[in-house]
Structure 1
């Protein structure tokens, strides 16, 4: 199976898809970043407008007061932003699968992580702290043994973790109404988390472009027999990568 894939490697057909999926994934990340900037603007607008005399939207005990126009528009903004994030996820996973498949064909080595972790690695507690980054790093190192992982990958992952673990960023524990209540009282906490998410999106776009460029360069050279017989784990690969 690997031999058949290797014979097909080259500017066509493998090089084209990874370039296209890489561009789409980078675009999806930037779109998600833009959606989070809009959210931040609306949160700042809520803070500047001040909490209504009737109190926060979530009154506690399952009671919610009617929303004003600005609060309703924030719900719309978060819904549109959520759709942008879903699109970003689909585009990123499409790129990651292509990157991983190409790395398999180029190296002739089994990937470090089973294919199911491309999906579960993002949502499974504990392992989601390093598996997604590890999958990208593993594909990169099998594509270009001995080359250093782009710094943008590390920046992307650190900012992603900050946004995810902050509780008000990528993974919200609170409802939208509760987030509105936070905007009235703790807007700077929200804005700091938003900044981490936006930074992660921008760094992620650079990471996708950098990793894709290395694989495109490698694909254009075609399979190298001396690399196909290289050890499964290149020297210097971090144990947790």
Structure 2
């Protein structure tokens, strides 16, 4: 393994924050379309019929389908840039304190793709990076990271439940139940993305401050 080299996380951090904002916007768009579809299902269950109701239903369904595509694209783009940022700050943290890490730097990427261990390894890598990046005199607690990770895991399970309910939904009642579960999953995902923004901003700022505190590392900011 090559020696760790300090590189600025600022550009990747800003790009990650911007894309996480896009994820939040996509989730809010999806929530709006789910509300529209829930209203259509309510109309059907209340006996409201007719051409106008049919048009509303078709429009709501088309928007909901579009929101799913937007969410997928936003998630893919964000995942790529986030992983680049995550690996960058992990390598930087090794320069700051190599003894702080319980996982090798390869886990900064691999931990997200390994089944089962991806439920806790990325959090461990984040916490090690967090601690190594902080100044000893001003080391923050893990509350923000733990809150983000907990909400992220909960959102993943909520999405799995929503997918299962939607696949077995029958009739207006079943579809309305599935839509409500999707709405909850999207709301949790949006909240997790907001906390991820705070983690990225905080960790990037911690590394910047750590560099500025040591004249040996000043040139790494670029």
TM-score by length of 1: 0.71
> What is the rounded CA distance, in whole Å, between the counterparts of 1:51 and 1:110 in structure 2?
55
CA RMSD of aligned residues (A): 3.1
* Partners of 1:107 and 1:142 within 8 A in 2: yes
The residue number in structure 1 matching 2:18 is 27
Q: Which segments of 5 or more consecutive residues in structure 2 lack a partner in the other structure?
A: 45-56, 217-222
Of 140, 144, 153, 1:148 maps to 140
Instruction: For residues 114-134 of structure 1, give each alpha carbon's deviation from its aligned partner in whole angstroms, at most 9, with x where no partner exists.
Output: 344323322323212211111
- Aligned to 2:140, the other structure's residue is in SS state coil
Q: In the alignment, is residue 215 of structure 1 matched against residue 182 of structure 2? A: no
Of 14, 18, 36, 1:45 maps to 36
The residue number in structure 1 matching 2:48 is none
* Partners of 2:91 and 2:105 within 8 A in 1: no
The residue number in structure 2 matching 1:235 is none
Q: In the alignment, is residue 192 of structure 1 matched against residue 192 of structure 2? A: no
TM-score by length of 2: 0.76
The residue number in structure 2 matching 1:206 is 198
* CA displacement at 1:185 relative to structure 2: 2.8
1:150–1:28 distance in 2 versus 1, CA, 3 Å: farther
* Partners of 2:112 and 2:118 within 8 A in 1: yes
Q: How many residues align?
A: 200
> What is the rounded CA distance, in whole Å, between the counterparts of 1:172 and 1:40 in structure 2?
15
> What is the rounded CA distance, in whole Å, between the counterparts of 2:92 and 2:215 in structure 1?
11
Q: Which segments of 5 or more consecutive residues in structure 1 lack a partner in the other structure?
A: 54-66, 225-241
* Partners of 1:118 and 1:135 within 8 A in 2: yes
* CA displacement at 1:174 relative to structure 2: 6.8
- Aligned to 2:112, the other structure's residue is in SS state coil
* Partners of 1:43 and 1:183 within 8 A in 2: no
The structure with more helix, counted as a fraction of residues? 2
- Aligned to 1:194, the other structure's residue is in SS state helix
Instruction: For residues 8-27 of structure 1, give each alpha carbon's deviation from its aligned partner in whole angstroms, at most 9, with x where no partner exists.
Output: x5xxxx3xx31111111112
* CA displacement at 1:51 relative to structure 2: 7.3
- Aligned to 2:20, the other structure's residue is in SS state helix
